[in-house]
Structure 1
Amino acid sequence: MPEDRIRIHKVETLSDDWFLLQKTTFDYRRNDGSWQRQTRETYDRGHGATILLYNRERRTVVLVRQFRFPTWGNGHDGFLIEAAAGLLDQASPEERIKAEVEEETGYRVGEVRKVFEAFMSPGSVTERLYFFVAEYEPASRIGSGGGIEEEGEDIEVLELTMAEAMQMMADGRIADGKTIMLLQYAALHLL
């Protein structure tokens, strides 16, 4: 049991501005039974959900392009092509992703299907991400999308063929982990 292997000694808050950054000092019982003192920083930003909209007949997907500051200046121009996503903010993953996809893309979806969940950066980030897919029709676009300006969102909506999206993933134009995972899922199971 994990409780038998971890002894927390100290938890320090390093930042509580945008989200919570903590430094934890603990003892970890190794597989050989010996104890080792370790220190880790963890970033708690809450859990999130992401979704890939797809149209089986047209073999298309809906993605978004937006500026992501942490990628800017890190060998990237900062504009990532992604599947729509957002933090749960106390809502269920299903409820939140339906609202998020409408805010970001303008498409209203009825039924969403959870395909898996994953920790995206488990060495330092506590977030669990819930992955969804949903079919869309051109007529299900009820707004322009673009996100919420007050939250700093300035989102471009992209409708791509699956072949285009796979090529963009292969040549590096799509470099977002959650999006790559969803596109690979779609290639294997949907389109």
Structure 2
Amino acid sequence: MTKTYFFYGTLSYPPLLERVLGRMPNMRPAFLDGFEPRIARRNGEDQPFPILVPSDLGVPGILIDTETEAEETRLADYEGGYRLHAVEVVADGTGGTTPAQVFMPDEGAWEVGEPWDIAEWAETWGELATEAVEDTMASLADLSFDEIYDRREQMLVRAAARVRARETSPASLRRQAALTDVVVRERRSPYAKFFAVEDYDLQFRKFNGAFSAPMERAVFVSCDAAVVLPYDPLRDRVLLIEQFRVGPMARGDGNPWLLEAIAGRVDALESPEQTALREAEEEAHLALNELVPVAQYYSSPGAKTEYIYSYIGIADLDDQAAAPGGLDEEGEDIRPHMISFERMVELLDSGELNNSMVVICAQALIRKREALRAQFGAA
């Protein structure tokens, strides 16, 4: 038996509804009296979805009919923090009311924010929220709704990375891949916090055209990142930062304080360039004048999703240009070092610059240095 649902929030956005339901249903305009949609808030922070509160304004939305119990299960799973309530809605063109089910949160579960505007939400969050559906639905077998909600920011960051990953990349030598060249048989998320681990059962098309045998692969899911090495072409001076790193510590490195380029996660609504500028301010209180692209690359493609956007940042590196930085809430304690170009080369040759991101930026600076000094007026 089919059920009729009334949607007024993110599920009234057709691309997202299609992704959750697995098909595009017939959507009929409708109106619910007695409520209005407001932005949900928690701890004073706006969330990218609405709640219903009592009001005389009423709520515009859509009606859809499910076809199978599996569709109803997918809707209930996606709206795991809400409960179904029976309502009567006014369907356009019928002249009367229609019984429907609507998802609503428990009273007091959320703080009430500003009025909800579906068009404004769609422009800002629509594409990312739709892309994040895949992660949400894949996590349902392993995580509770509260655990998934706690990872909402990471899921949106990953969704933004997936959108960027669809941009055309060069393939003049490697194979021209098709969507049908990889078959994911099963995907699991046994661990998911700030980072996540995903287990895949998959097959891929081999160079002879046949598919590989089924194989299991684990992937460490981290976000896209932006890296920038500040350089002053007039003073021929470079800025490095130093901070404690848990990776070398866990490996057994006797000195887990590394010299690095400035770097950070590309947040959901940021471009990599915006991230580079923001991180320079956060980590070294440094304003960059211009970004010179270096390279884009996977840091460890055999096991990690991390994709790096790297830059040389043109800056005025006088003696007061930088200061210790980092965010206390992220446990950061960062010390800047302003050094000559020659000293950077010495550190590279000695192995004291020992992480891939700073090595790649330093090598790029060696290659681009003379052109940058000429471009920005060095003698």
**Segment drifting more, 150-159 vs 75-84:** 75-84
Deviates more, 1:105-114 or 1:85-94: 105-114
Q: Is the 8 A contact 1:107 1:145 kept in 2?
A: no
CA contact (8 A) 2:323 2:335 kept: no
Tell me the TM-score normalized by structure 1.
Answer: 0.93
After superposition, the C-alpha distances for 1:139-174 in whole angstroms (9 at most, x for unaligned) are 596662421111010011011111111111111111
For residue 50 of structure 1, report the CA deviation from its aligned partner.
Answer: 0.4
Partner residue, 2:307: 128
**Partner residue in 1 for 2:341:** 162
The match for 1:89 is: 267
Cα 1:61–1:15 change in 2 (3 A) is same
- For residues 4-58 of structure 1, the C-alpha deviation after alignment (integer angstroms, 9 at most, x for no partner) is 3211100010210121210101012211223221221112211110001111122
Separation (CA, whole Å) in 2 of partners of 1:83 and 1:72:
19
Measure, in 2, the Cα distance between the counterparts of 1:110 and 1:135: 5
Please tell me whether residue 50 in structure 1 is matched to residue 216 in structure 2: no
**Per the alignment, in what secondary structure is the counterpart of residue 287 of structure 2?**
coil
Say which of 213, 224, 241 aligns to 1:64.
241
Q: Secondary structure at the match of 1:8?
A: strand
Q: Is the CA contact (8 Å cut-off) linking 2:231 and 2:317 kept in structure 1?
A: no
Change (3 A) 1:73 1:12: closer
Q: Provide the C-alpha distance between the structure 2 equivalents of 1:111 and 1:34, rounded to a whole number of angstroms.
A: 48
After TM superposition, list the pairs within 5 Å mapping 1:1-191 onto structure 2: 1-36=177-212, 37-76=214-253, 77-90=255-268, 91-138=270-317, 144-191=323-370
Q: CA offsets, 1:111-131, max 9 Å, x none?
A: 222222111111111111111
Q: Structure 1 residues 141, 44: CA separation in 2 closer, same or farther (over 3 Å shift)?
A: farther
- Is the 2:237–2:317 Cα contact (8 Å) retained in structure 1? no
Greater mean alpha carbon deviation, residues 72-81 or residues 11-20 = 72-81
Question: Distance in 2 between the 1:40 and 1:138 partners?
Answer: 45
Q: 1:181 to 1:111 in 2, by over 3 A?
A: same
- Structure of higher RCO (CA pairs closer than 8 Å, 6+ residues apart): 1
TM score, norm. by length of structure 2: 0.48
5+ long unaligned stretches in structure 1: none
Consecutive aligned runs of 4 or more in structure 1 exceeding 3 Å deviation: 138-143
Radius of gyration: which is bigger? 2
